[in-house]
């Protein structure tokens, strides 16, 4: 008789063979270190101990249609039967996807595919430096652009370290980090001052137009406009990192919503509903620097770029978003959740700012406003994490880690939202009544500076 392996058995085996037991920086969550996923479909996943969760974490954002969307899975299977990675030339499907991105995303005149968002942002910065011959890169506090050195600082910092320069990793050459200026999001005056001082040396400004790596800060129009104007005036390259917002908020990304067009755009996540994809697109003169033909000078490569299964997934995702009311559905559910949660917390007298956009929602436990990263330091991290831990007991999965956003997909239903709102009321009430039962909640708040990757 074979014993069924429990989550803790499997997690222990994982820790013996895999450093930390997981394959990405933020998959091992305090209080959830024995979580072993065995199945996922639609709006749900299940673990090795037979628990089922309605999933609002959504793998940090890719499955806009839900897990294992049948149309996407069928397209991937079809690609697996008919074509494979050959590593030479281009496939018909790659041409179709590139044309679609050019048509849909305002800044994109030409586009290249990568396998991850980090590669896309890496190449965006490299080509900006090549095109301008300049050294400095500007990023914003609270924004995450991947794991590579130039952007590996100031995602989430401890309250006392806000304004300090906090690398997310050891092992980075200090001179790489010194070439990155960190400014405050939604601070147009700070941007103008930085350009006045360093403008002639700024190769690129990279920004999440909506910083979702700290939940949701909505950009002020004047701020995005200032980025555009200052970059144009100084001859710097403006990069919108739409790895989260691309496809999810609009097929044209936040640039279509805001009307502010960057020079380069990075995408990923939702554009292939969970298959490993990234994309870098933008002005033809910049993108042509990657060309392997004469005139190109910036090296670009990747064995798996444009993998047929991934491209098939992206085309199927796009087809579904265009032919079915995907955005209408997720926006309606997102609105219901934001309104419903605000009512629940207000009814309990619990100070909360419930924000987000479209399918993305987050409840900070603080008084408003939530305009800047500094505002988020008022969020009660132990309430934020403790509340989410209690949601787990109701079969609702929102990542129990400070400042993380949640997502609804096309697979979530109105009934799922009803259950979420009931669970929210119960979890918040219990947390208020007995807030300090979670002894290790401080660890889970990750306000410690280091190791914040999403």
Closer CB to ligand PMP, 119 or 416, in the complex:
119
Give the number of other CB atoms < 10 A from CB of residue 39: 12
Residue 438: closest CA among 30, 36, 29: 30
**Strands (DSSP E) along 64-201, which ranges?**
110-114, 136-140, 180-183
Report how far residue 327's alpha carbon sits from residue 71's, in angstroms, rounded to the nearest whole number.
17
Q: Where in 232-261 is the site for ligand PMP (CB under 6 A)?
A: 241, 243-244
Q: How far is the CB of 243 from ligand PMP (least distance, A)?
A: 4
Among 44, 129, 145, 320, binds ligand PMP (CB under 6 A): 145
For ligand PMP, the closer of residues 137 and 428 by Cβ is: 137
Sheet holding 406-407, edge to edge: 353-357, 360-364, 406-407
Rounded to whole angstroms, the Cα distance separating 196 from 189 reads 10
Find the shortest distance in angstroms from Cβ 26 to ligand PMP.
9
Q: Which is nearer to ligand PMP, 132 or 213 (CB)?
A: 213
What's the closest the beta carbon of residue 268 comes to ligand PMP, in angstroms? 5
- Residue selected from 91, 152, 213, 258 as contacting ligand PMP according to rule CB under 6 A: 213
Using CB under 6 A, which of 28, 91, 107, 121 touches ligand PMP?
121
SS (H, E, C) 357-396: ECCEEEEECCCCCCCCCHHHHHCCHHHHHHHHHHHHCCCE
The verdict on 358 binding ligand PMP (CB under 6 A) reads no
Site for ligand PMP in 46-85 (CB under 6 A): 60
Other CB atoms within a 10 A radius of the CB of residue 64 amount to 29
What is the β-pairing status of strands 52-55 and 110-114?
unpaired
Q: Which is nearer to ligand PMP, 215 or 268 (CB)?
A: 268
Binding range to ligand PMP, per CB under 6 A, among 112-120, 174-182, 223-231, 299-307: 112-120
- Distance separating alpha carbons of residues 350 and 24, to the nearest angstrom: 34
Of residues 269-298, which lie at the interface with ligand PMP (CB under 6 A)?
278
Stretch that binds ligand PMP, among 142-150, 158-166, 219-227, 386-394 (CB under 6 A): 142-150
User: Do 275 and 309 touch, CB atoms closer than 8 A?
Assistant: yes
452 binds ligand PMP (CB under 6 A): no
Nearest distance, CB of residue 3 and ligand PMP, angstroms: 36
Q: Does 144 bind ligand PMP (CB under 6 A)?
A: yes
Site track 403-432 with ligand PMP (rule: CB under 6 A), x = hit:
------------------------------
Q: Which residue is nearest to ligand PMP (CB)?
A: 117
SS (H, E, C) 27-95: CCCCCCCCCCEEEEEECEEEECCCCEEEECCHHHCCCCCCECCHHHHHHHHHHHHHCCCCCCCCCHHHH
Q: What is the DSSP letter of 1?
A: -
Residues that bind ligand PMP (CB under 6 A): 60, 116-118, 121, 144-146, 208, 213, 241, 243-244, 268, 278, 454
């Amino acid at each position: 008789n074979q014993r069924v392996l429990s989550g803790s058995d499997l997690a222990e085996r994982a820790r013996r063979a895999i450093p930390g037991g997981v394959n990405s920086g933020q998959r091992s969550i305090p209080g959830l270190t024995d979580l072993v996923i065995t199945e996922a479909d639609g709006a749900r996943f299940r673990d090795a101990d037979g628990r089922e969760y309605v999933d609002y974490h959504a793998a940090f954002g890719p499955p806009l249609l839900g897990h294992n969307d049948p149309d996407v899975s069928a397209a991937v299977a079809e690609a697996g039967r008919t074509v494979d990675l050959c590593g030479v030339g281009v496939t018909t499907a790659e041409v179709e996807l590139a044309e679609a991105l050019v048509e849909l995303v305002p800044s994109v005149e030409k586009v290249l595919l990568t396998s991850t968002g980090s590669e896309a942002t890496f190449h965006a910065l490299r080509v900006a430096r090549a095109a301008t011959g300049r050294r400095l890169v500007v990023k914003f506090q609270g924004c995450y652009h991947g794991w590579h050195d130039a952007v590996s600082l100031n995602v989430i910092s401890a309250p006392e370290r806000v304004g300090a320069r906090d690398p997310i990793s050891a092992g980075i050459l200090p001179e790489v980090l010194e070439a990155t200026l960190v400014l405050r999001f939604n601070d147009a005056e700070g941007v103008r001052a930085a350009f006045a001082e360093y403008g002639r040396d700024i190769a690129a400004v990279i920004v999440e137009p909506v910083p979702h790596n700290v939940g949701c800060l909505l950009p002020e129009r004047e701020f995005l406009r200032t980025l555009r104007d200052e970059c144009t005036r100084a001859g710097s390259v403006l990069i919108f990192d739409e790895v989260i917002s691309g496809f999810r908020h609009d097929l044209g990304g936040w640039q279509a919503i805001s009307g502010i067009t960057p020079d380069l755009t990075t995408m990923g996540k939702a554009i292939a509903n969970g298959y490993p994809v990234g994309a870098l697109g933008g002005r033809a003169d910049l993108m042509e620097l990657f060309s392997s033909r004469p005139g190109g000078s910036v090296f670009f490569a990747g064995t798996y770029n444009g993998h047929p299964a991934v491209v098939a997934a992206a085309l199927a995702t796009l087809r579904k978003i265009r032919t079915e009311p995907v955005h209408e559905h997720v926006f309606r559910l997102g609105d219901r959740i934001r309104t419903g949660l605000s009512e629940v917390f207000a009814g309990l007298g619990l100070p909360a700012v419930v924000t987000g956009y479209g399918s993305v929602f987050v409840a900070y436990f603080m008084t408003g406003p939530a305009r800047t990263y500094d505002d988020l330091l008022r969020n009660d991290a132990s309430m934020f994490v403790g509340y989410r831990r209690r949601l787990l007991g109701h079969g609702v999965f929102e990542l129990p880690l400070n400042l993380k956003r949640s997502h609804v997909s096309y697979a979530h239903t109105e009934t799922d939202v009803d259950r979420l709102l009931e669970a929210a009321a119960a979890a918040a009430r219990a947390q208020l009544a007995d807030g300090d039962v979670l002894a290790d909640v401080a660890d889970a708040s990750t306000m410690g500076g280091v190791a914040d990757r999403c």
